[in-house]
Structure 1
Amino acid sequence: MDTVASPAGAQYFSDFAAALRYWRGKRGISQLRLSADSGISQRHLSFLETGRAQPGKDLILKLGLVLDIPLRQRNAMLLAAGFAPAYRERSLSDPDLDAVKQALDFMLQQQSPYPALVVDRLWNLVMLNDPAARMLRFFLGMPEHAPIPRDGSINVLRTTLDPNGLRPALANWQLVCGDLLHWVQREAMGDGPGSEAAQLLDELTALPGIAEAAALPNLDRLALPFLPLTLCKDGVELNLFTAITTLGTPHDVTVHELRLETFFPADESSRRWFQHQAS
Structure 2
Amino acid sequence: MTTVSSGTGVGPLLRRWRERRKLSQLELAMRADSSSRHISFVETGRSRPSEEMVLRLAEHLDVPVRERNALLLAAGYAPRYAETSLDDPAMESLREGIERLLQGYEPYPAVVVDGTYTVLAANRGIAMLLDGLPEHLLSPPLNAMRITLHPEGLSQRIRNLREWRGHLLAQMERQIALARSDALRELYDEVAAYPLPEPAPESAANTAADDDGLEVPAATPYFALPLQIEHDGRVLSFVSSISTFNTPMDVTVAELAIETFLPADPATVKYLQSLTP
TM-score (norm 2): 0.82
Identity, in percent, stands at 38
Query: Residue 57 of structure 1 corresponds to which residue in structure 2?
Result: 51
Query: Residue 103 of structure 1 corresponds to which residue in structure 2?
Result: 97
CA positional deviation for 1:174: 0.7
Query: Residue 147 of structure 2 corresponds to which residue in structure 1?
Result: 159
Query: Residue 184 of structure 1 corresponds to which residue in structure 2?
Result: 172
Secondary structure of the corresponding residue to residue 99 of structure 1 = helix
Alpha-carbon separation, structure 1, partners of 2:98 and 2:274: 25
Alpha-carbon separation, structure 1, partners of 2:186 and 2:260: 27
Bigger-Rg structure (1/2): 2
Query: Residue 247 of structure 2 corresponds to which residue in structure 1?
Result: 249
User: After superposition, what is the alpha-carbon deviation per residue over 1:158-191, rounded to whole angstroms, capped at 9, x for unaligned?
Assistant: 1100001110001111112122123332343345
Query: Residue 158 of structure 2 corresponds to which residue in structure 1?
Result: 170
CA positional deviation for 1:258: 0.4
Match for residue 114 of structure 1 among 108, 111, 115: 108
C-alpha contact 1:131 1:278 (8 A) present in aligned 2: no
Query: Residue 40 of structure 2 corresponds to which residue in structure 1?
Result: 46
Alpha-carbon separation, structure 2, partners of 1:182 and 1:24: 22
CA positional deviation for 1:192: 3.9
More displaced stretch, 127-136 vs 115-124:
127-136
Match for residue 266 of structure 1 among 220, 242, 264: 264
TM-score (norm 1): 0.82
Q: For the aligned residues, what is the CA RMSD?
A: 2.5
Query: Residue 192 of structure 2 corresponds to which residue in structure 1?
Result: 205
Higher relative contact order (CA 8 A, sep 6+): 1
C-alpha contact 1:116 1:262 (8 A) present in aligned 2: yes
What letter matches 1:206 in structure 2? Answer: A
Query: Residue 226 of structure 1 corresponds to which residue in structure 2?
Result: 224
Match for residue 31 of structure 2 among 13, 34, 37: 37
C-alpha contact 2:114 2:255 (8 A) present in aligned 1: yes
User: After superposition, what is the alpha-carbon deviation per residue over 1:196-216, rounded to whole angstroms, capped at 9, x for unaligned?
Assistant: 111111111221139x99xxx
Secondary structure of the corresponding residue to residue 135 of structure 1 = helix
What letter matches 2:62 in structure 1? Answer: D
CA positional deviation for 1:14: 5.0
CA positional deviation for 1:82: 3.1
User: After superposition, what is the alpha-carbon deviation per residue over 1:129-186, rounded to whole angstroms, capped at 9, x for unaligned?
Assistant: 1222122216x378xxxxx66x6x0000111000011100011111121221233323
Consecutive unaligned residues in structure 1, runs of 5 or more = 1-12, 143-147, 214-218
C-alpha contact 2:134 2:153 (8 A) present in aligned 1: no
CA positional deviation for 1:101: 1.1
Count of residue pairs brought into register by the alignment: 250
Query: Residue 94 of structure 1 corresponds to which residue in structure 2?
Result: 88
Q: Which has the higher helix share?
A: 1
Alpha-carbon separation, structure 2, partners of 1:268 and 1:72: 42
C-alpha contact 1:188 1:198 (8 A) present in aligned 2: yes
